[in-house]
Structures are given as structure tokens and as C-alpha cells.
Amino acid sequence: MTTLNEFSSCVTQYDPQALPVTAAQAIVREWATPVTAIEHVPLHEALDRVLAQDIVSPCNVPAHDNSAMDGYAFQGAALGAQGGTVELSVAGKALAGHPFNGPVGLSACVRVMTGASLPQGCDTVVPQELVTRVGETIRFGTNEVRAGANRRLAGEDLARGSAALRAGRILRPSDLGLIASLGIAEVPVRRRLRVAFFSTGDELRSLGESLDPGCVYDSNRHTLFAMLRRLNIDPLDLGVVRDHPEALEKALRNAAASADVVLTSGGVSVGEADLTKQLLQTFGDVAFWSLAMRPGRPLAFGRVWSGERPGVGLPALFFGLPGNPVAVMVTFYQIVREALLVMSGATAQPVPLIQATSSEPIRKRAGRTEYQRGVARRNARGQWQVTPTGSQSSGVLSSMSEANCFIVLAHERSDVSVGESVDIMLFDGLI
């Protein structure tokens, strides 16, 4: 069995004590294996689920040539058969769902509404506002419309047998409408990923408990729960686990037995009470435990088993996140999120970076990637500008609530001057 440590040591820039973010992302991506189980769910329950198989169109969409607007359908050849003005007799009317079935000669037309099937032989629609109608006759200029205009062709949207949606897509409202238009009532989706999580620390208290001196309320579990729910993942909250080896070991084994992924917050730095890393070396497999990033330097990634040693029992991927609240969110979005999407079976798309001008100087030390919180807005010229939210301490959770983006400062970059260009990652679509 190849260990994560053996694999990771072959990665360029591998340093388990200060791994560059890009190298860490590559290692995690390699070991994120999609779940294979497939469920068939009713269409109205498929929102945000991951499509397990291609949706193949069983029919042409639209099923027939139809009118793109209200007007009159006729044979396009009539444009050349008459002079500068076309005069046609109205043979009847066609509505959506109520086609006209009679013959339509070269000198005739049919009144059509948007979406109505075009009568046989008709290939052109002249908009009603371009027509003068007197009784059962219409007139319009030949320069008002071209042959074939305002016609939607059968199969123009989707051809029978073509893939309407590809496997790996996270289904959106528009996708459900598209599937419904094909007459499909049930959708094959991957089962939801199961993620167990807990916080570690003797100082942590759950909501509703009294605070003893030196204690704080645990915010990380609630943040993790919300971030997991946004990804439509089944979260399993295991509460707060005290800094005792037996309690931590039991919690980790139980989590591995019940979930695909285990997330912890706290307990992975170098303090005396940081036991998680030590336990993982006994019945787990650790690839790295520190990143060259800020915030979020202490982050462990590996595997954990429900048995007494690696390879025994049920396995789960493990992410040991820092204890500071902002660091939890930053490491989740920059390291964990993509892995969870891949494991869910989704075709993960990178979150786009946008260029913005910094309105303030930013201190930055080269040799680590930094994710500072900022407020981005467009100026009068439509250009993006960004301002840091103030204190960038990893314990100031309010900075995440105030911000609308991450200011992404690359590994090799140093200080930023006013007016310099920086990359920003907008929260919209991410958080």
C-alpha cells in the first residue's frame, strides 16, 4: 500500500513542514477519489446534486420547426416571386399546441403565434408589426424580411441522441428545467458525500453551556456545518472533543467509520496539547502538516482508519484544520473545498481570479501565499479596486463577515504598494 507520505515526497517543492499551497493542492487533488454509488431521485429533489450519468435527449428540442415571434408564416420563395411588395392571403391561424394542418400555397400565409409549429412548406415568418393587413390579405415589403427568418428549427436546441447535460455537473435550476423539457422525471445522481467534523480543545464550549474562566464558545463547528451545507454535503457534527488522547482517538476512529472525510479544527500545531497529529502517526497516514500560507499554516492532510493501524478498518481522508476561526475558513476554501467537490463526483471548476488595484499598501512576506480579506468595488471607470478589511489576524472572524473577497498574494510576492495590481477572489460563487 502506497502511503501518502511516500507519494507526497515525490512532489516538487515537497516540504511537510512548510508546503507551498500549489503543491498541497496537487497532493490533495490526487487523493480525492469520487464516490461511486448512484441514486435515482425525483427531478424536484435533484437541485445541487451531482449528475452521475449524461442526460441524453430522447427527442428533438424543439420537436418541430416553430415560429420565433408573433407574425405570419409563408414560403420564403414568395419573396422572389413578387416585386418590391409581397401580398399574401391569410389561410388560417396556428397557435402553440394548435397547429394549422391545411395546405399553404405560394401566395398564402398563416397567422402564427410565438412557439406555434410552422405549417408544412412554410419556412419564413414576417413579424406582425411589419405587416399591413386588410381583411384576409397582408402586405409587406420584400426588404423587410429574408427567407428563413424568425424560424426555430427542429432540434436546434437539442438533437435527439445528443448529450443535454454531462455527468459531473452540479445541477442548477436551469438544468432542472432543461431535463423537464425532455420529459425526464427521475435523475441519476451521485450519493451525497458524508463528512464528519469536530472541534478539539479543553477551552471550547458549545452553545448553551456556561463559560468558565479562560473558555470560549466554539464557532468553528457552526462555520464548518454551513460551508458543508453550501456544497450539498451530508455533515455529521461530532461536537467538541477534549484534549485527551483516548477521547481524540475514539472520535477519529468513529468518524472514519461513518464518513468519507473527517475534518477537525484545532490540535495540529506544535503545542503540547496538540495531540491530533501524534495520533495520526499511529493509526493514520499523514502527507503534510504545515503550509507556507497565511492564515492557515498548521494544516494536516492524510488518511485515517477506523481500525487500530493504517489499512485496518474503514478509511477516510483527513483534514486537520487550524483552530483560529478565519484560518478554518481560508483553509477550507483554498484546500478542502475542491477535494470535496471532486469526491462528490463533480467536475470542479477553479474559482476565477480578478485583477484589482489596491487602494492601500499591503505588507506581505515572500515565501508564502497569503489570503487577506478585502472589500472590492468598481470605481467610476468600471475598474476593480480593493481595500483590506483592517486587522488580518486569523482570530478576527468579523473580517470575513465584512469582506466580499480574498486578496490573493502569491507565494513569491512581497509588499504591495498603493495602485499596484493584485488578484482577488470574490466570495460570490465561493462562499
What CATH homologous superfamily does 354-426 map to?
A: MoeA, C-terminal, domain IV (2.40.340.10)
CB within 8 Å of 218: residues ≥ 6 apart: 199, 201, 204, 205, 206, 207, 240
CATH class, 4-37+191-343 region: alpha beta
Q: What is the distance of C-alpha 268 from the center of its chain?
A: 29
Q: What is the pLDDT of residues 26-51, one digit of tens each?
A: 999 999 999 999 999 999 999 999 99
- Distance of alpha carbon 275 from alpha carbon 256, whole angstroms: 17
**Domain coordinates in residue numbering, the chain:** 4-37+191-343, 49-60+159-190, 66-152, 354-426
| Phi (first) and psi of residue 408, to 5 degrees | -95, 110
Grid cell 449524461 in the structure block, residue: 54
Pick out the chain residues at pLDDT < 50: 272-273
Peptide bond into 298 cis (omega under 30): no
Q: Quick one: pLDDT at residue 151? A: 96
> Do 287 and 302 touch, CB atoms closer than 8 A?
yes
Please report, as a single letter, which amino acid is at residue 178: L
Handedness of CA 75, 81, 86, 88 (dihedral sign): negative
What rounded mean pLDDT belongs to the chain?
91
Half-sphere exposure of 135 (CA within 13 A, CB side): 4
pLDDT at 147: 94
Candidates 2.60.40.10, 2.170.190.11, 2.40.30.10, 2.40.10.10; correct CATH number of 66-152? 2.170.190.11
pLDDT tens, residue by residue, 144-192:
899 999 999 999 988 999 999 999 999 999 999 999 989 999 999 999 9
CATH number of 49-60+159-190: 3.90.105.10
Q: So what's the pLDDT on residue 82?
A: 60
Q: Residue 76: which residues within 8 A CB-CB, separation 6 or more?
A: 123, 124, 146, 147, 148
Q: Quote the pTM value.
A: 0.85
* Three-state SS letters, 93-125: EEECCECCCCCCCCCEEEEECCCCECCCCCCEE
